[in-house]
Amino acid sequence: MCAAGAAVPQSGGEPLCVFGTGDLGRSLGQRLLQCGYSVVYGSRRPDSCGPIPLGALSHADAALSASLIFICVHRDHYGFLQNMAPHLEGKVLIDLSNNLKKGMFPDANAEYLQRLVPGAAVVKGLNTLSAWALQNGLLAGKQAFLCGDSAEAKQAVSQVCTRLGLSVLDKGSLSASRELEDFPLQLFPQWRLPLSIALGLTAFFYFHLLIRDVIYAYVENGKDISYRIMISLANKVFPIVSLVMLSLCYLPGVIAAFIQLYRGTKYRRFPDWLDRWMLCRKQIGLLALGFAFLHAIYTFIIPIRYAVRHKLISRMKNNKTTPFYFDNTEAWGTDSFYVLGILGFFLYVLLGLTSLPSVGATLSWREFNFIQSKLGHITLFICTAHGYIYGWNKFLKRSTYKWYTPPGYMLCLIVPSIVLVLKVILLLPCVDRTLTRIRQGWERAWVSKGFIYSLLDIVTNQQLT
Amino acid sequence: MCAAGAAVPQSGGEPLCVFGTGDLGRSLGQRLLQCGYSVVYGSRRPDSCGPIPLGALSHADAALSASLIFICVHRDHYGFLQNMAPHLEGKVLIDLSNNLKKGMFPDANAEYLQRLVPGAAVVKGLNTLSAWALQNGLLAGKQAFLCGDSAEAKQAVSQVCTRLGLSVLDKGSLSASRELEDFPLQLFPQWRLPLSIALGLTAFFYFHLLIRDVIYAYVENGKDISYRIMISLANKVFPIVSLVMLSLCYLPGVIAAFIQLYRGTKYRRFPDWLDRWMLCRKQIGLLALGFAFLHAIYTFIIPIRYAVRHKLISRMKNNKTTPFYFDNTEAWGTDSFYVLGILGFFLYVLLGLTSLPSVGATLSWREFNFIQSKLGHITLFICTAHGYIYGWNKFLKRSTYKWYTPPGYMLCLIVPSIVLVLKVILLLPCVDRTLTRIRQGWERAWVSKGFIYSLLDIVTNQQLT
Amino acid sequence: MCAAGAAVPQSGGEPLCVFGTGDLGRSLGQRLLQCGYSVVYGSRRPDSCGPIPLGALSHADAALSASLIFICVHRDHYGFLQNMAPHLEGKVLIDLSNNLKKGMFPDANAEYLQRLVPGAAVVKGLNTLSAWALQNGLLAGKQAFLCGDSAEAKQAVSQVCTRLGLSVLDKGSLSASRELEDFPLQLFPQWRLPLSIALGLTAFFYFHLLIRDVIYAYVENGKDISYRIMISLANKVFPIVSLVMLSLCYLPGVIAAFIQLYRGTKYRRFPDWLDRWMLCRKQIGLLALGFAFLHAIYTFIIPIRYAVRHKLISRMKNNKTTPFYFDNTEAWGTDSFYVLGILGFFLYVLLGLTSLPSVGATLSWREFNFIQSKLGHITLFICTAHGYIYGWNKFLKRSTYKWYTPPGYMLCLIVPSIVLVLKVILLLPCVDRTLTRIRQGWERAWVSKGFIYSLLDIVTNQQLT
């Protein structure tokens, strides 16, 4: 009666086969259907395998009609594949399996499968996809790693992956399958480095402040102010770490610009450490935002703390007689300090919001760049100014340098100041012009001869234009 | 001149027909085009029907060439379909119409349509899609409910739905169309239960605190502290409800684990109430976050309240003579209390952020699980500790139990404590190992014989491994 | 061996050609592959052009087999196209190029290209797509503007764009290409108007308050309270601007409803200014949220400010003797004020969250409407009440009207009050019924005769039902 399906090109082509009707198998099959393929399912129990459109066949029957077979079955159940090896002769088997832990088995699942069915071409891949992502169509822009010994087989699987909306990356022969099987077991791989930096900085500054504040007060004045560890110290460490992290987020971009200026070309790869650093800028920035958020809440909570109230009350008791003048400079100073902090935090949050995937997706490249670069550097500037104002009338007092150590808020201003100075140099019209030309693809004739040349170059560009 | 379109499989197949050139009709047609179908539009006024690629035909002409016709017209205008019934003989009509309210008409739109055109096969469905979702390609992962009396017709529509990226769910015969037409009229169906729980808890604790605080003070001491209703009471109720809701968010997972342990298999369905509960965990958690957010703001606002300032000032006036010592334990206690609250809130916000659809989509399943399970339980632990510290030196005082009732912060610790204790039991290596095996598909031989067996089982597993 | 690709309709059709193997060219090619097209790349250096599936050909060879050629090359390198003009005879060239600034070249890139290759049909378009969006599959719902002199060529490109998931908008002949090339150079075009309004309002109220607070105090009392500029003034201006912006966000909807009521039909377009206003409501609302957020932080920070602490302490010193009564009305008043502010802010944040693209996408149209309309007006009501309570006991005092000017919090209540009154009128059952009928497509017979008729109409509708 109705031939609507005919309008869509599913017919003609050979179906794809999916072994296994669990969550993953069903989701993969559905997704393949949505991409215009026809699909047959193979199941241990073809008659009782849950809600599948058009039903499932036995493994052997399903394998008959297809040359590509997706194995969505746990490694434990691979036994039946060995039994039906003759039916799988010349087929491409895509091993999607994962393990619960690293090193659960002596060999990779895909290599084990290849040993069981030597006549088939095993391709390892797609194991990074979850049933959930397949069901919800969240594949766009994701990468599919493939490996396998047959180039033809990989090519065929690669075509299917492309149609699923994935970007394919060939990782070589089947011996790489161990590596591929370890991918989904990683937890937040791109957060490792940023988290280590954040924890290292936190530990260092905590220790530094502990000595200068709590231990110093105990040793020199015999006062026990250990209760400060909980909030006062934390509220010094968090803004410090946040500011340093924020500057570490913008430092690699500045370094990269200087490297490009020095080399006179954009076509040479950056050193590996810089590449790695640049790839985790987003994570560094988000951690900085996290610390800034904690700093904000710690600050809001200050006036309800027992210690603060006590100080306020006892100061008044002791101050009963002395006259109490209003210091206009003090009012201006502290208020400016707070205003810079608030504005900095506001911009911080704005940066964080635009790094939400769905918000970022609505921005054009120019807009994204404007926010993450221009607004980011303004945020860094405001936050650094916030830090400078904090110490503006303290850095010349001897009492600031307890036990001859500089206070934390001075140490934390070093990196941001360097980043800002370097950025200002890059914004000088002559430097900016050269850099823009390099980034458009222009290459200096006497490439990578050194810094003098790049200076010469900047001067020349300026005179030419 | 150019045959680029030829590279894409639109030709050959029969076109799909869309009746109605309003927002919905146009968006549906465009989406069908994007999926590779060819489309003809039927319109009352083919010549003046807005911006449509390739224009529209009269209804009759459009119907000629297609066997599937999408009816994107209000029920009020179905009359013309009756007139052209001969042209619709043997066609599949997909009724996408919705009503403004439940029960506007005595029968479902689709059934009415079937009566008007008895020779066609009416399928109800796709009415949950909005023009906006169609235009913005937001269909992936959404469900399409279909119903109709002809299995063939449903199959044809189902194929189109699959190509649109939808997951199809067959709801049976056309008599189910009433139900389908009521779907889009529901407001936040999955928020109903969580909201009821939240409101119930809020009402109960508000009433409880009203009696213990305001009414008690009035009856026993004759003091009018009714002004506390606005902020002080709310700021006690909100954290209480938030903590209870958070624990209710993790309780079903724990119960499910114990059920699986008891049954020795994961292949039997959970009781209905547990299924429903588990499906609204996200909503429960988000409501808990909302209450925590309110609690945070209420807390920040404390020191600027008139009543608080007044108390601070009057305390000093009355305290003029008594010496005023700094209590280190008090400082540690309150600061720990605040720190736990801040950290708990921070993790809360983190959990909330990862439940944003676009953030969740960037996580692998393991990462999502790590955050929502591990981090979630840590958050629950910290927030519960926050509650315990609040009452640590009060629970033994008689004055705490006004009118022999326990205070709210004690009541609210019951459920979280139970969840945490149960979770700790599940984390014991022997229990955890058994549970992991069950979740990998292993089934205990003497299934569902009772608790003793599952204990035996735990012991056995431990000895085997 | 494997013919899986055969299941997908790539064969048969002619390939599409992409000139240029940079980021954009590679991403476009991949995306075309994912949509089922076959693709050939043309490159200056076919052997060394980075990771391309199936490799690249020379420009001439690549052009041979295709009739559509996507030019993903900088305008600077267009020279080679002139040289190979004979090979491009009769082909469609799609110019995707962009410039760095407006007016870099005397003519549009596409017109320049057409002059270089007069025998080809140049179509300008797709230049708003970024490589990043192409790679991550973020095209759904985006618009593709096309222009060109050949209708046939545009039609062919338009088909490809549709398959890529884009909505095509024809902008006319090739002379429009300048306009299209300027599109991607715009920064946040839809934020322009809202930002101007916000800045204008901020400047006006800042100036107004500066005169009334700081200058008045200096002139009349000789007191220097200039330090208030930083925080106190800002914390008055921000909530004022936020409230006005929020009401400006809901005013156009109310005006539109009255226009529809007056005209008696929904089928006539609104005046241009109203259309533009309605299109930037989201941005106005988000700016209002930004100001509310700043207001909240400024408020939280109040008690730790030097000036506030000083005032608190000095008030006590001077107050030593006077008795200090607790004012219950004052406590109720200020607490209600804070509660309304907190609830308003909470709803504000909720509105902001649902305007995140990925959150909005999970809502049905009814739910989105409920939140943005119902919840939005409730938020406006609560925030307006917050403003009214602030001035409830001040508006009758003469001291409020310094220099005969009304204070800012009075001025800012005007627009919100008007919006709320108009909204209440619209919610009257008789008006609401007529409006609902109009929005369902019903048209009044004596269309647009004036207000008396629409009143008549409202009365008639009421009697009929």
Torsion of CA A69, A70, A72, A76, to 10 degrees: 60
pLDDT given for residue B12 in this prediction: 44
DSSP bridge pairs for C68: C92
Determine the distance in angstroms separating the CA of A68 from the nearest CA of chain C, rounded to an integer: 6
Candidates B163, B347, B442: best to mutate against A (most CBs of A within 10 A) is: B163
Tokens 């005209």 belong to residue = C263
pLDDT reading at B130 higher than 70: yes
- How deeply is B365 buried, as exposed, middle or buried, from its count of CB atoms within 10 A (0-12, 13-18, 19+)? middle
pLDDT given for residue A451 in this prediction: 59
DSSP single-letter state for residue A266: S
Residues of A within 8 A of C301 (CB-CB) are: 299-300, 338, 342
pLDDT given for residue C5 in this prediction: 33
Contact (CB<8Å) B5/C156: yes
* ipTM score assigned to the predicted complex: 0.85
Distance CA(C408)–CA(C206), nearest Å, equals 9
Contact (CB<8Å) B159/A310: no
Q: Who wins on pLDDT, B295 or A53?
A: B295
pLDDT given for residue C319 in this prediction: 58
List, edge to edge, every strand of the sheet that includes C57-58.
Answer: C57-58, C39-43, C16-19, C68-71, C92-95, C121-125, C143-148, C167-170
Q: Which residues of chain C have pLDDT under 50?
A: 1-12, 321, 447-448, 464-465
DSSP sequence for A185-197: G-SSGGGHHHHHH
Q: Who wins on pLDDT, A124 or B440?
A: A124
Name the residue of chain C whose CA is nearest to A346's CA: C294
- How deeply is A162 buried, as exposed, middle or buried, from its count of CB atoms within 10 A (0-12, 13-18, 19+)? buried
pLDDT given for residue C398 in this prediction: 73
8 Å CB contact between B206 and B238:
no
Q: Give residue-wise pLDDT tens across range B87-110.
A: 899 999 999 998 888 878 889 999
Contact (CB<8Å) C153/B2: yes
Token reading at C378: 């409730």
Nearest to B153 by CA among B75, B85, B70, B74: B70
**Mean pLDDT for all residues in chain B:** 85
DSSP bridge pairs for C121: C92
Token reading at A38: 């026809």
In this complex, the residue of B160, B302, B441 whose CB is nearest that of residue A4 is B160
In this complex, the residue of A130, A227, A300 whose CB is nearest that of residue B300 is A300
Q: How far is CA B282 from the centre of its chain?
A: 5
Residues of A within 8 A of C3 (CB-CB) are: 14, 67, 156
Nearest to A43 by CA among A72, A10, A9: A72
Query: In this structure, which amino acid lies at residue B298?
Result: Y
DSSP bridge pairs for A143: A167
Candidates A325, A334, A374, A443: best to mutate against C (most CBs of C within 10 A) is: A334
pLDDT given for residue B357 in this prediction: 84
Token reading at B407: 């205070």
Candidates B26, B130, B195, B227: best to mutate against C (most CBs of C within 10 A) is: B227
Torsion of CA A71, A74, A78, A79, to 10 degrees: -150
Strands B143-148 and B121-125: antiparallel
8 Å CB contact between A206 and A237:
yes
In this complex, the residue of A91, A332, A342 whose CB is nearest that of residue C298 is A342
DSSP sequence for A284-307: HHHHHHHHHHHHHHHHHHGGGSHH
Contact (CB<8Å) A356/B361: no
Determine the distance in angstroms separating the CA of C28 from the nearest CA of chain A, rounded to an integer: 12
- Summarize the confidence of residues A28-40 as an average pLDDT: 87
Residues of B within 8 A of C437 (CB-CB) are: none
Q: Who wins on pLDDT, A228 or A394?
A: A228
Contact (CB<8Å) A36/C36: yes
Nearest to A14 by CA among A69, A94, A95, A57: A69
Q: Is B228 left (phi over 0), alpha (psi -120 to 50) or beta?
A: alpha
In this complex, the residue of A187, A293, A305 whose CB is nearest that of residue B335 is A305
Q: Who wins on pLDDT, A238 or C317?
A: A238
pLDDT given for residue B103 in this prediction: 79
8 Å CB contact between B436 and B426:
no
List, edge to edge, every strand of the sheet that includes A121-125.
Answer: A56-58, A39-43, A16-19, A68-71, A92-95, A121-125, A143-148, A167-170
Q: Who wins on pLDDT, A53 or A155?
A: A155
- How deeply is A98 buried, as exposed, middle or buried, from its count of CB atoms within 10 A (0-12, 13-18, 19+)? buried
Candidates C335, C370, C375: best to mutate against B (most CBs of B within 10 A) is: C335
Query: Sign of the C-alpha dihedral, residues C400, C402, C408, C413?
Result: positive
Determine which of B6-20, B177-191, C404-418 has the lowest per-residue pLDDT on average: B6-20
pLDDT given for residue B274 in this prediction: 94
Contact (CB<8Å) C440/B136: no
Q: Who wins on pLDDT, C78 or A56?
A: C78
Candidates C2, C76, C223: best to mutate against A (most CBs of A within 10 A) is: C2
Contact (CB<8Å) A38/C309: no
- Summarize the confidence of residues A435-462 as an average pLDDT: 66
Residues of B within 8 A of A137 (CB-CB) are: 139-141, 165
Q: Which residues of C359-396 are buried (b: 16+ CB within 10 A; e: fewer)?
A: bbbebbebbbebbbeeebbebbbbbbbbbbbbbeeeee
Name the residue of chain A whose CA is nearest to C35's CA: A163
Q: Is C18 helix (H, G, I), strand (E, B) or coil?
A: strand
8 Å CB contact between A168 and A161:
yes
Angle at A364 between CA A358 and CA A368, to 5 degrees: 75
pLDDT reading at A86 higher than 50: yes
Confidence of residue B465 (pLDDT cuts 50, 70, 90): very low
Contact (CB<8Å) B167/A304: no
pLDDT reading at A412 higher than 70: yes
DSSP bridge pairs for C94: C70, C123
Neighbours of A47 (CB within 10 A): 8
Neighbours of C221 (CB within 10 A): 9
Contact (CB<8Å) C227/A67: no
Nearest to B230 by CA among B306, B144, B172, B178: B306
Distance CA(C96)–CA(C113), nearest Å, equals 11
In this complex, the residue of A4, A137, A303 whose CB is nearest that of residue B159 is A4
Residues of C within 8 A of A13 (CB-CB) are: 6-9
Nearest to C355 by CA among C281, C299, C303, C462: C281
pLDDT given for residue C257 in this prediction: 93
In this complex, the residue of A90, A167, A370 whose CB is nearest that of residue C1 is A90
Residues of A within 8 A of B361 (CB-CB) are: 133, 136, 138, 357
In this complex, the residue of B9, B162, B357 whose CB is nearest that of residue A34 is B162
Q: Give residue-wise pLDDT tens across range B380-402.
A: 999 999 999 987 777 777 777 77
Distance CA(B233)–CA(B250), nearest Å, equals 27
Distance CA(B450)–CA(B263), nearest Å, equals 7
Token reading at A191: 């957060």
**Mean pLDDT for all residues in chain A:** 85
pLDDT reading at A294 higher than 50: yes
8 Å CB contact between C153 and C70:
no
Distance between start and end Cα atoms, chain B: 72
Torsion of CA C135, C140, C141, C144, to 10 degrees: 50
DSSP bridge pairs for C340: none
Candidates C227, C291, C311, C358: best to mutate against A (most CBs of A within 10 A) is: C227
Determine the distance in angstroms separating the CA of C366 from the nearest CA of chain A, rounded to an integer: 22
Helices C376-391, C414-427: crossing angle, 10 deg rounding: 130
Candidates A8, A224, A345: best to mutate against B (most CBs of B within 10 A) is: A8
In this complex, the residue of C74, C187, C294 whose CB is nearest that of residue A370 is C187
Which of the other chains make 3 or more beta carbon contacts under 8 angstroms with chain B? A, C
User: How many contacts does B have with C, using Cβ atoms within 8 A?
Assistant: 175
Residues of C within 8 A of B188 (CB-CB) are: 367
- Summarize the confidence of residues B167-174 as an average pLDDT: 89
Nearest to B36 by CA among B11, B19, B67: B11
Q: Give residue-wise pLDDT tens across range A366-404.
A: 888 888 889 999 999 999 999 999 877 777 777 777 777
Tokens 């399912």 belong to residue = A41
Distance CA(B181)–CA(B198), nearest Å, equals 29
DSSP bridge pairs for C39: C16
Distance CA(C64)–CA(C87), nearest Å, equals 7
Residues of C within 8 A of B313 (CB-CB) are: 312, 315-316, 319, 324
Neighbours of A311 (CB within 10 A): 12
Residues of C within 8 A of B310 (CB-CB) are: 324, 326, 331
Q: Is C92 helix (H, G, I), strand (E, B) or coil?
A: strand
Confidence of residue A286 (pLDDT cuts 50, 70, 90): very high
Contact (CB<8Å) C358/A362: no
Confidence of residue A413 (pLDDT cuts 50, 70, 90): very high
Residues of B within 8 A of A230 (CB-CB) are: 332, 335-336, 338-339
Strands C39-43 and C16-19: parallel
In this complex, the residue of A13, A152, A335 whose CB is nearest that of residue C230 is A335
8 Å CB contact between B437 and B258:
no
Confidence of residue B419 (pLDDT cuts 50, 70, 90): very high
Neighbours of A119 (CB within 10 A): 12
Contact (CB<8Å) B152/A226: no
Determine the distance in angstroms separating the CA of C160 from the nearest CA of chain B, rounded to an integer: 7
Determine the distance in angstroms separating the CA of B152 from the nearest CA of chain A, rounded to an integer: 7
In this complex, the residue of B2, B5, B184 whose CB is nearest that of residue C364 is B184
pLDDT given for residue B229 in this prediction: 87
DSSP single-letter state for residue A157: H
Name the residue of chain B whose CA is nearest to C439's CA: B100
Determine the distance in angstroms separating the CA of C245 from the nearest CA of chain A, rounded to an integer: 18
